[in-house]
């Protein structure tokens, strides 16, 4: 579905390091892909962890089989012992996110809370144009999951599919105190006004994410120029350091 197009890109460690050098990226949180085959999950995790061991600029996130709690916990623990900083970007491309998906994450969420690891979830906007991988998500279930795990640090990718805008509601703002968002794929989805909104209303909660190799930092720079230097510093550096300690 995602890689069936000839123009679809994949990246390896060599490509990542070249990109970082070319665009002046100091640190990179690197995520795996939500395979369903456990052999592929383990293989990809080992690769991401090895890339991170070879260069301390890389902060590794690993994948688990979200359909099997016991297997997910075993793999998360194996990778935690090897330096994984978080799990994700977990995605629900074929079935969406609802009550059963929320309940299926409960054990993993408790484990990550205990270990101080970060959970990264893929969410996309529920209106607008269609594209490969766009799926349904029940925001009430997402909010229920967040509220059930107030100590769990989370990244809701792609500005949480727009759930971030509900942080204008005081009860959501309070419940989402440990939730962060990333800007990955924002140029495909939103006008440049998003950046000013993010800095004004989600001042310490938005991280730069490129969705590399789909997009690179260069694609974001013109829109980021609309912010003052302090705001750019927060989005590009400070908020990531606050969450990941790097």
175-224 pLDDT per residue, tens? 999 999 999 999 999 999 999 999 999 999 999 999 999 999 999 999 99
For residue 174, the Cα-to-chain-centroid distance in whole angstroms is 21
Tokens of 46: 């080992």
What's the predicted TM-score (pTM) here? 0.95
- Give the list of residues 6+ apart from residue 188 with CB closer than 8 angstroms, or none: 131, 215
How far apart are alpha carbons 197 and 206 in whole angstroms? 10
- The SS3 of residue 29 is strand
Q: Tell me, what's the pLDDT at 8? A: 84
Other Cβ atoms closer than 10 A to 12: 10
Q: Tell me, what's the pLDDT at 6? A: 83
Cα distances (angstroms) measured from residue 67 to each of 34, 107, 138, 212, 232: 11, 11, 18, 27, 38
Specify the DSSP element, H or E, that contains 156: strand 153-156
> Which whole number is the average pLDDT over 28-36?
91
- Domain ranges for the chain, please list them: 13-125+134-244
Q: Which CATH number fits domain 13-125+134-244: 3.90.1580.10, 3.40.50.1000, 3.30.360.10, 3.20.20.140?
A: 3.20.20.140
What string of DSSP letters covers 182-196? Answer: E-TTHHHHS-THHHH
**Would you say 121 and 161 are in contact if contact means Cβ atoms under 8 Å apart?**
no
> Which whole number is the average pLDDT over 38-48?
97
For residue 26, the Cα-to-chain-centroid distance in whole angstroms is 18
For residue 179, the Cα-to-chain-centroid distance in whole angstroms is 11
How far apart are alpha carbons 196 and 231 in whole angstroms? 9
Q: Tell me, what's the pLDDT at 201? A: 97
Q: Tell me, what's the pLDDT at 122? A: 96
Per-residue pLDDT at 110 exceeds 90:
yes
Q: Which residues of 110-138 are buried (b: 16+ CB within 10 A; e: fewer)?
A: ebbbeeebbbbbbbbbeeeeeeeeebebe
> Which whole number is the average pLDDT over 135-144?
96
> Which whole number is the average pLDDT over 17-32?
95
**Would you say 152 and 112 are in contact if contact means Cβ atoms under 8 Å apart?**
yes
Residue 94 burial class via C-beta count within 10 angstroms: exposed 0-12, middle 13-18, buried 19 and up = exposed
> Which whole number is the average pLDDT over 116-128?
96
Tokens of 21: 């050098």
Tokens of 29: 């949180």
How far apart are alpha carbons 69 and 225 in whole angstroms? 44
């Amino acid at each position: 579905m995602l890689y069936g197009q000839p123009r679809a890109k994949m990246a390896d460690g060599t490509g990542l390091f070249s990109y970082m050098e070319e665009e002046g990226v100091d640190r990179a949180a690197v995520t795996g892909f939500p395979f369903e085959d456990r052999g592929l999950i383990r293989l990809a995790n080992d690769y991401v962890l090895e890339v991170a061991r070879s260069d301390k600029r890389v902060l590794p996130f690993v994948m688990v089989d979200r359909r099997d709690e016991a297997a997910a916990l075993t793999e998360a623990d194996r990778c935690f012992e090897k330096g994984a900083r978080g799990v994700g970007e977990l995605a629900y491309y074929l079935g969406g996110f609802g009550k059963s998906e929320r309940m299926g994450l409960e054990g993993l969420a408790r484990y990550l809370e205990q270990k101080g690891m970060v959970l990264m979830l893929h969410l996309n906007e529920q209106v607008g144009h269609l594209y490969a991988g766009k799926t349904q998500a029940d925001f009430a279930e997402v909010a229920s999951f967040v509220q059930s795990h107030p100590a769990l640090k989370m990244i809701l990718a792609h500005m949480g599919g727009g759930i971030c805008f509900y942080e204008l509601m005081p009860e959501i703002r309070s419940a989402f105190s440990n939730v962060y968002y990333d800007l990955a794929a924002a140029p495909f989805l939103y006008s440049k006004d998003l950046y000013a909104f993010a800095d004004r209303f989600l001042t310490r909660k938005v991280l730069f994410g490129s969705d590399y190799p789909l997009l690179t930092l260069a694609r974001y720079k013109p829109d980021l120029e609309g912010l003052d230097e302090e705001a750019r510093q927060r989005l590009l550096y400070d908020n990531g350091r606050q969450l990941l300690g790097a």
